[in-house]
């Protein structure tokens, strides 16, 4: 055990209104690990990782995410049920209550930063009620060195008090939990929920406003990796579609698994310093890199273990959204620093539970913009509270809950950049094949990996040049052959063995796309509109 009584550098939190707190500043992950166990807030798994329960919330709560409506945000944010306005005076009052709650307590403070590119560095001070939340911040944000810490001046502050419960009537929240961004005060205020994902996605949402508005840089909900030749690939997709799984590739260096910026200097950089992987059904056989990243320093969330501390990754009795966070250096093959050149290939990942979309297809620029704005997946159970069965879901820019601006702002930037960089854009269905959920099965990970490899190394294009099959409903170019993938897998219709049923499902999905896109039609040019699927 580490001696926690030893005096280390500490700081005062008076300026935040947190009085008389016992401040635990910049503890090492080992110290936080030990403290979590000492406080009986977690136990050590046989892998050496710490395992915690996040409490009532085991996923984000998008309905309780607010943005303070002020001079900076009022005319810029796309207000609605994704970006819910919160009054500035209400924020001030709630903030006062939260810091009062944290006063006189032991609190954990960490200075860190986001954005691996020096020019975009955003210094963050994280103030946590719990040691394991603070360790999460160590894992997920970038870690300043000793020198940087000496003169560290925080720009944004995260105040994270899972044990504080709001009173909706008085505080103006929807219920007792909340995540509120204030762009004037530069504070992310999180209370009533211990789900750690709120911490990282709070800063992501802040960057999704700040970077396009003030820095002319495109923020993206995507993972990224780079090959030996320096060719970057990025993978957009909603939760559970495979961003983390597919970017973690032994043959390609990982840039990051979830949040990146695409600059006007032709680079892509990671916002984060760690990964946050789903561990449902995780096996060493299928995903060895992620499996082996679960060691001392990693934090497992909401998993079930036996008496020997062995995790049963199949057990979803707490949640389907079991997770692990680890610093990026737990993965062997990483790019240091986490920056790559302009992407050569962009993958839009979707987990189509209706089994309609081809496992891989090539998109025209118009189709790419259409699919980016649509952001289709079938919401698989898990990351959000209250979703337990698959539903068709459209989330603009493959990340609407984190995008404060109107989706077309991001789409315009992406289209311009894609054109400029001359990228190939691929739509990859990591979801169902052989029929819909319940009848078919999930696409084999090894096939998806083989398709992505073939797209990146050019062999997919070479094998299908001028001979792609154009999908009769979605209009996308479906390859006829792909190295290391059985041919019949490439045609979803063939895998169904029921043409009538397949086309019925395909047209039904097409209708959903068109229905959803109506809200964006007025912003789209003819090229983009032509990217829509056909109707019967």
Q: Which is nearer to ligand ATP, 450 or 524 (CB)?
A: 450
Is 221 annotated to bind ligand?
A: yes
Would the annotation count 242 as a binding residue? Answer: yes
What are the distances in angstroms from CA 120 to CA 115, 270, 283, 328, 417?
Answer: 6, 10, 37, 19, 19
Q: Are 159 and 187 in contact (CB under 8 A)?
A: yes
Q: Which of 65, 125, 221, 417 is catalytic?
A: 221
Whether 48 has a binding-site annotation, put simply, is no
Q: Quick check: 429 binds ligand ATP (CB under 6 A)?
A: no
125 is catalytic: no
Of residues 133, 157, 424, 448, which one binds ligand ATP by CB under 6 A? 448
The gap from C-alpha 334 to its chain's centroid, in whole angstroms, comes to 18
List the one residue from 29, 162, 191, 242 that touches ligand ATP (CB under 6 A): 242
Q: Find the catalytic residue in 239, 247, 393, 495.
A: 239
Do residues 310 and 45 lie in contact, with contact meaning Cβ atoms separated by under 8 Å? yes
Decide: is 26 part of the binding site for Mn ion (CB under 5 A).
no
Residue 245 binding result from ligand ATP, Mn ion, none, given CB thresholds of 5 to 8 Å by partner type: ligand ATP
Q: Which residues, including other chains, have CB under 8 Å from residue 527's CB and lie 6 or more apart?
A: 365, 366, 369
**Active-site pick, 258, 335, 409, 430:** 258
- Stretch of 29-37, 132-140, 238-246, 371-379 lying at the interface with ligand ATP (CB under 6 A): 238-246
Catalytic residue among 244, 253, 267, 495: 244
Say if residue 499 is preceded by a cis peptide, omega within 30 of 0.
no
Asked if residue 477 binds ligand ATP (CB under 6 A), the reply is no
**221 in contact with Mn ion (CB under 5 A):** no
CA distance 165 to 364: 49
CA distance 302 to 55: 8
Which of 24, 243, 335, 379 is close enough to bind Mn ion by CB under 5 A? 243
* Residues 340-377: b if buried by 16+ CB within 10 A, e if exposed: bebbbbbbbbbbbbbbbbbbbbbbeebbbbbbbbbbbb
Residue ranges of alpha helices (H) inside 48-177 are 88-102, 131-140, 146-150, 168-171
Stretch that binds ligand ATP, among 161-169, 367-375, 441-449, 487-495 (CB under 6 A): 441-449
Would you say 60 is a known binding-site residue? Answer: yes
Among 342, 353, 348, CA closest to 380: 353
Region of 251 (left: φ > 0; alpha: ψ -120 to 50; beta: rest) is: alpha
Nearer to ligand ATP, 185 or 442 (CB): 442
Which span (83-91, 139-147, 408-416, 439-447) binds ligand ATP, by CB under 6 A? 439-447
Choice from 243, 371, 417, 471 touching ligand ATP (CB under 6 A): 243
* 195 in a known ligand binding site: yes
Neighbours of 448 (CB within 10 A): 23
Task: CB nearer to ligand ATP: give 262 or 398.
Answer: 398
Catalytic residue, from 24, 110, 252, 323: name it: 323
User: Do 243 and 222 meet the contact criterion of CB atoms below 8 Å apart?
Assistant: yes
Q: Are strands 311-312 and 304-305 parallel, antiparallel or unpaired?
A: antiparallel
Of the candidate spans 40-48, 160-168, 206-214, 236-244, the one that interacts with ligand ATP by CB under 6 A turns out to be: 236-244
Contact between residue 427 and residue 350 where contact means Cβ atoms under 8 Å apart: yes
Residue 323 annotated as part of some ligand binding site = yes
Task: Give yes or no: 201 in active site.
Answer: yes
Cross-strand bridge partners of residue 112: 124
- CA 153 to CA 342: how far, in whole Å? 31
Which are the contacts of 373, defined by CB distance < 8 A and separation ≥ 6?
396, 397, 407, 408, 411, 517, 520, 524, 528
442 binds, options Mn ion, ligand ATP, none, Cβ within 5 to 8 A by partner type: ligand ATP
| 225 binding Mn ion? (CB under 5 A) | no
Burial class (CB in 10 A: 0-12, 13-18, 19+), 3: exposed
* One residue of 240, 274, 327, 340 binding ligand ATP per CB under 6 A: 240
Our finding on whether 323 is near Mn ion (CB under 5 A) is no
Q: Is 525 helix (H, G, I), strand (E, B) or coil?
A: coil
Segment interacting with ligand ATP, rule: CB under 6 A, options 24-32, 274-282, 416-424, 507-515: 274-282
Identify whether 69 is a catalytic site residue: no
Choice from 173, 225, 244, 338 touching Mn ion (CB under 5 A): 244
Q: Is 240 annotated as a binding residue?
A: yes
Site for Mn ion in 249-288 (CB under 5 A): 258
- What is the nearest approach in angstroms of ligand ATP to the Cβ of residue 510? 23
Interface with ligand ATP (CB under 6 A), residue from 244, 345, 393, 478: 244
Which residues bind to Mn ion, rule: CB under 5 A?
243-244, 258
- The binding site for substrate consists of 60, 195, 201, 323
- The binding site for ATP consists of 201, 221, 237-245, 287, 323, 448
Which residues bind to ligand ATP, rule: CB under 6 A?
237, 239-246, 258, 276-278, 280, 287, 383, 430, 442-443, 445, 448
- The binding site for Mn(2+) consists of 201, 221, 258
């Amino acid at each position: 055990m580490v001696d926690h009584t030893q005096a280390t550098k500490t700081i005062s939190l008076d300026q935040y209104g947190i009085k008389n707190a016992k401040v635990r500043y910049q503890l090492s992950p080992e110290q936080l690990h030990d403290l979590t166990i000492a406080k009986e807030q977690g136990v050590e798994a046989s892998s050496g990782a710490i395992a915690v329960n996040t409490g009532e919330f085991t996923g984000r709560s998008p309905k309780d995410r607010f943005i303070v409506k002020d001079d900076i945000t009022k005319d810029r944010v796309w207000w609605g049920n994704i970006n819910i306005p919160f009054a500035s005076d209400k924020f001030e009052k709630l903030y006062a209550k939260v810091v009062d709650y944290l006063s006189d307590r032991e609190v954990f403070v960490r200075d860190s930063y986001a954005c691996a590119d020096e020019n975009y560095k955003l210094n963050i001070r994280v103030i946590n009620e719990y040691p394991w939340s603070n360790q999460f911040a160590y894992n997920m944000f970038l870690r300043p060195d000793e020198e940087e810490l000496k003169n560290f001046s925080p720009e944004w502050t995260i105040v994270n008090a899972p044990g504080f419960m709001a009173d909706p009537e008085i505080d103006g929240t929807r219920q007792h939990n909340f995540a509120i961004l204030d762009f004037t005060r530069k504070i992310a205020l999180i209370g009533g929920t211990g789900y750690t994902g709120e911490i990282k996605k709070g800063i992501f949402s802040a960057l999704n406003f700040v970077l396009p508005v003030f820095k002319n840089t495109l923020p993206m909900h995507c993972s990224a990796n780079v090959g030996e030749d320096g060719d970057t690939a990025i993978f957009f997709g909603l939760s559970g579609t495979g961003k983390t799984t597919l970017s973690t590739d032994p043959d390609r260096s990982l840039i990051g698994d979830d949040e990146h910026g695409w600059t006007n200097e032709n680079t892509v950089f990671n916002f984060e310093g760690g990964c946050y992987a789903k561990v449902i059904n995780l096996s060493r056989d299928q995903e060895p890199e992620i499996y082996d990243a679960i060691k001392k320093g990693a934090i497992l969330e909401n998993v079930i273990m036996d008496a020997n501390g062995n995790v049963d990754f199949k057990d979803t009795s707490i949640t389907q959204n079991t997770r692990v966070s680890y610093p990026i250096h737990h993965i062997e093959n990483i790019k240091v620093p986490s920056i790559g050149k302009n992407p050569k290939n962009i993958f839009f990942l979707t987990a189509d539970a209706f089994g309609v979309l081809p496992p891989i297809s090539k998109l025209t620029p118009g189709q790419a913009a259409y699919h980016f704005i649509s952001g289709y997946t079938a919401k698989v159970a898990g990351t959000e509270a209250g979703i337990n069965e698959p539903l068709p879901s459209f989330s603009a820019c493959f990340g609407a809950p984190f995008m404060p601006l109107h989706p077309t702002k991001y789409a315009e930037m992406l289209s311009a950049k894609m054109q400029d960089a001359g990228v190939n854009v691929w739509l990859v269905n990591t979801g169902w094949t052989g029929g819909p959920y319940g009848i078919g099965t999930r696409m084999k990970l090894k096939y998806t990996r083989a398709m992505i490899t073939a797209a990146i190394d050019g062999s997919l294009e070479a094998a299908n040049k001028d001979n792609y099959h154009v999908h009769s409903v979605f209009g996308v170019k479906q390859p006829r052959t792909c190295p290391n993938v059985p041919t019949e897998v490439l045609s979803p219709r063939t895998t169904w063995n029921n043409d009538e049923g397949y086309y019925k499902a395909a047209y039904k999905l097409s209708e959903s796309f068109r229905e959803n896109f109506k809200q964006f039609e007025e912003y789209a040019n003819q090229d983009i509109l032509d990217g829509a699927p056909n109707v019967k």
